[in-house]
Structure 1
Amino acid sequence: MTTRVRALLTASAIACALVGALVAPAAPAVAATRPPAVLAGPDAADPTTGAHLPSPARVVQQLRDEDVSDRALRDTAPVALLGALPALDVPELRRLARAIPATIRDLIRRPPSVSGVAAWWSGLAQAERLELAEGIPELVGNLEGIPVIERDAANRRLLDQRERELHARAATTPGRGAQQELGRDMDMLVEVRRALEPAAGGPARSLLTLDTTWPGRAGVVLGDLDTAAYVSIVVPGMFYSVTDRLVDWTDVAARLQQQQTTLLGAGAGAGGVATIAWIGYRTPDLLGIGSLDLAHEGAQYLEGAIQGIQGLRRDDPPYLTVIAHSYGSTAALLALSSGRASVDALAMVGSPGGAVRDAGELDVPAGRVFVGEAPGDPVIGSSYFGSDPGSASFGAEHFGVGGTGAASGVSADGSLAGVVGHNSYFDRGTESFRNLALIGIDRRAVRDILADASAQ
């Protein structure tokens, strides 16, 4: 059996596994100018839309066509695309990635189910996985359902590839404008690489998400997402781009992970804590802040991130929290009211509101929706995008941000500072930051930590 016949047989089997249908391959048909192809038997249907799925051999032929384009593939179901990809070799995958960037982005944004992707990936041979990661790392590194360790490796490979490409283009591309654009893109990649540098004595860092198309998307994990008993996704608001703020936001997530680990102490268990510095959507600037468009986009990506974590940890689910600031809370409210994502707790600070009436519309357990509001914050109470999470009618639990003298171990003198304004909720040594850390480990107050300690 030739390598190509084996690859096409694999493509057929994978497509069938993705849709949950039994497809019997027909006899190979040999074309004069193409490798042997295996044609699928009874046609399957897309489990999401019910639409007819073409045979894997036909999709492989489409992908190998020299004129393949986003337009040509616009009606091809995601499950059909995934099923066909392993039949391509590395050069073919690289050419395809250049030819259909929009199709790949859409596949990442609207993939098959996490369980379907996981089944597809686990059904591949190790050599096939490595070829896909080498040939099309932008897909492997961002597809929910693929294990974190393999996504991290693919995203780091993508980072290396893009840096080499930009250096090569900079050496041959004339014009000040073009050079400035290349410099901007390189700055973004440098920021990602800096964010991945582990602090001395800190946890390992993984690159869970990477989109190198300007303005970029990225997600950096602090800790072990595969084993952590507690996981917090930290979502920023406006002005937080990968280029300008990924290192800062990763520092916030790192301090949160450290604070939670300290608070838990021996009670952390074997799994410990993981946090995710998630700039997984394009946050608005002053021109885009008045619209919900980017919040809807962010909600869709956030739903995927939540589903991905829960799918990979199905047999050992962590306590999962979303901690969202400003416009990020608007995206989180949309995600958690969609019916497609649920978490164990939601904490919002500096929220301009969102398109839900109250906490009861969220897929979050009762009593685990929290809100923090600082004096002098011009955003809180504005209800700019709908409801006000800080209002009594919304039904969220308020947590303190004004400072306290209670012993906490956060400050040298045992006191916690208050926060003022819109941008201080994550400052070190504040009551706000301590309480956000507590929420992410299912503790509502210091007394819960003390009670845990006395019970041991």
Structure 2
Amino acid sequence: MGITYGALRDADFGPLAAVGEQWRAQAGRMEERESELDDLRRRQIGESQWTGTVAEEVRSRVKLIGDDTVERAGECRRIAAAIEDAVAVFNDRQEELLELLASVPEGLSVDADGVATGKAADVAAFEQRMEAILDAVAEADETLHAAVAAIAGTTDAGERSELAAGVALADDFQDMLDRDASPAEVNAWWDGLSPFEQQGLLEARPELLAQVDGIPSGIRDDANRTLLEGEINRRENEIEAVEDRLAADPGNEDLQKRLADLQGTQERLTGLQSRIEEPYRIGAGGPALDHYLLGYSSAEDGRAIVAIGNPDEADNVSVLVPGTGADLGNVGGSVDRAGLMAADAYWADPDAKTASVLWLGYDAPDEVVPHAMDKRYAEDAAKDLSSFAAGMRAVDEDGSSHVTMTGHSYGSTTVGIAARDAGLDVDDMVFVGSPGVGVDSAADLGIPPDRVWATRNEEDIIGWAREDTIGTVLGGGGGGLLGGPVGGLIGGAVGYFTSDHDDLIHGTDPVSDAFGGRTFRSDATRDADGIEELWKDNVENHSSYWDGDNGHPRNAARDNMAYIVTGQTSGVR
């Protein structure tokens, strides 16, 4: 578009935002129509109501119409997302321009056309900032044009040629990935493509881009949402086919199991889709932050990487790695925690942009015993987590973001072992309720020890995470003669008071003086009455660090983590 200084300064992007809302509303209407068609086909003219060749033909035709409606709804949503992304850039750069104009040094004047006069050094600095702002707006405008034209089919001959060129680049890109190109190399390659080449590759091969570190977050989100929608539709068709076979053979146990498995996976996938559909709203006057789906998998326990806010544009990036028991089925709870960290960071520093990422990009242990006692889950995740951290640096638009990596429970072991084995390009590491992080000293994590933080409340059961203690708790030990949770509790206490307090199951306790990092306060916010409830109390307090909006008192850990995430460490207590 070649937008000028004056046009950007005076522009009102509200009407464009309204157009995006209309496209999104149209997608919703089309999805409602598809739901009505599905109800018609399955219930009103289903096999129990109408049989025969003509009936099958009609149902097939209705399904084709429904599938086409879903595809068109997806196109509407992608156009809406493209407009929303562009509006966000336009508004941000307009705000940056106005801030630049409000802070011009004394003696520098700027006329109506953006021409600056004054000291040569001041003029040069102003022009450099101005050029960067207008370049960002022009790039966003070109990207919007390419996305809408490709989806709506309004490209000209030259643009169609570029789209085709983008599709043809898929093999080159795959070769680059096969060579283990770094996220920085991937990002440089991507930036070297034209907007239409980028769009062509995205439309044709979203699976190539969806989980590649170094690809911009907005592109990964588009690709993953396309793949997620497609998988949901495919599995719906599979469910329907199995249901039809079961109708003819209702006693077939293999089909019953297959149906239950498909329905379980479908529930997890639709749950993820619903969870990221609407922005995360920080209450009481705070902003609404879009969700970015940076990766997912439905295989085995499932995985998901979800950002709240765009990490590429953020001043601060918080990455949360969950621990034992985390999977696709309960990912909503982990995303909620990431959302709370985004909100807390906003209130700690409202003038800064903070993106909060939930990284469940690994197979977390299913159970405490024996899985969480095994370091191989963390070792298997090390390379991927290291790559993700490098990818956050590669897509950082101004190269100055402050990145904090937080691990909870076994997630802290995953963070520590990734730092030890593969390196983590982060500014701060935070270990919450940790059973050990794979090293015996904060100095072994690759960042200054005073940027390594840890906390554990006084009633968190993870403090008993020593091999002798766990064995005593599980077997009952001396206290096991009492049986039940009381025996386990007393047995655990015996193990605790006879073991080395600084030696946890996965290394030196990160809250100990011997570890050499820094610690901060957290609270045991969940109380129970009676000795029979003490065991539950200790278990519950392992998950209490994000309390405060769930009926429990606010945990001091939240404010302390927010100060670390926003780089205001003088406020940590």
Distance 1:107 1:356 in 2: 31
Unaligned runs of 5+ in 2: 1-164, 246-254, 282-286, 466-503, 526-538, 549-553
Mapped to 2, the partners of 1:360 and 1:231 lie a distance apart of: 23
Counterparts of 1:366-381 in structure 2, within 5 Å, are 366-380=449-463
Opposite residue 444 of structure 2, the aligned amino acid is E
In structure 2, relative to structure 1, the CA distance for the partners of 1:240 and 1:365 (3 Å cut) is same
Give the 3 Å change call, closer, same or farther, for CA 216–350 of structure 1 in structure 2: same
1:162 aligns with 2:242: no
Q: Which residue of 2 aligns with 1:198?
A: 279
Residue among 236, 253, 260 paired with 2:345: 260
Q: Name which of 363, 381, 394 aligns with 2:446.
A: 363
- Structure 1 pair 447–302 and aligned structure 2 pair: CA distance change class (3 A): closer
Aligned twin of 1:78: none
Alpha-carbon displacement from aligned partner over 1:278-319 (angstroms, at most 9, x marks no partner): 211111112522212211122222111100011122742211
Q: Name the counterpart of 1:153.
A: 222
Question: Is residue 378–residue 418 contact of structure 2 (8 Å, CA) maintained in 1?
Answer: no
Q: CA deviation at 1:229?
A: 0.9
Q: Match of 1:318, as an amino acid?
A: S
Q: Is the 8 A contact 1:336 1:362 kept in 2?
A: yes
1:145 and 1:131 map into 2 onto residues whose CA distance is 18
Alpha-carbon distance between aligned partners in 2 of 1:285 and 1:403, rounded to the nearest angstrom? 25
Secondary structure of 1:151's counterpart equals helix
Structure 1 stretches of 5 or more lacking a match? 1-83, 94-102, 405-418, 449-456
- Name the aligned partner's letter for residue 262 of structure 2: L
1:183-332 correspondence to structure 2 within 5 Å: 183-196=263-276, 197-200=278-281, 202-244=288-330, 246-266=331-351, 268=352, 272-286=353-367, 287-313=370-396, 315-332=398-415
Q: Is the 8 A contact 1:195 1:220 kept in 2?
A: no
Worse-superposed segment, 249-258 or 161-170: 249-258
Is residue 514 of structure 2 the alignment partner of residue 393 of structure 1? yes
Q: CA deviation at 1:127?
A: 4.3
Cα shift at 1:439: 1.3
With structure 2 as the length reference, what TM-score do the two structures score? 0.54
CA contact (8 A) 1:435 1:445 kept: no
2:559 is equivalent to residue 434 of structure 1: yes
Summarize the Cα distance change of 1:187–1:107 in structure 2 as closer, same or farther, 3 Å threshold: farther
How far 1:325 moved relative to its partner? Answer: 0.3
Post-superposition offset of 1:117: 1.2
Distance 1:314 1:204 in 2: 18
Name 2:190's counterpart in structure 1: 121
Equivalent residue of 2:426, what SS? coil
CA distance in 1, matches of 2:572, 2:445: 28
Match of 1:48 in 2: none
Name 2:259's counterpart in structure 1: 179
Distance 1:88 1:441, change over 3 A: closer
Taking the aligned partners of 1:374 and 1:168, their CA distance within structure 2 comes to: 48
RMSD: 2.9
CA contact (8 A) 1:402 1:431 kept: yes
1:210–1:217 contact (8 Å) kept in structure 2: yes
Q: 1:335 aligns to what? A: 418
Counterpart of 1:165, as a letter, is R
SS at match of 1:215: coil
Return the letter of the residue paired with 2:560: N
Describe the SS at the equivalent of 1:390.
coil
Larger Rg belongs to: 2
Rounded to whole Å, the distance in 2 between the matches of 1:438 and 1:376 is: 24
Q: For residues 307 and 347 of structure 1, what CA distance do their matches in structure 2 show?
A: 18
Following the alignment from structure 1 to structure 2, what is the Cα–Cα distance between the partners of residues 369 and 378? 22
Q: Secondary structure at the match of 1:289?
A: helix
Query: How many residues were matched structurally?
Result: 333
Using structure 1 for the length normalisation, give the TM-score. Answer: 0.67
Displacement of 1:88 in angstroms is 7.5
CA-to-aligned-CA distance 1:384-411 (integer Å, 9 cap, x gap)? 122221221111211011389xxxxxxx
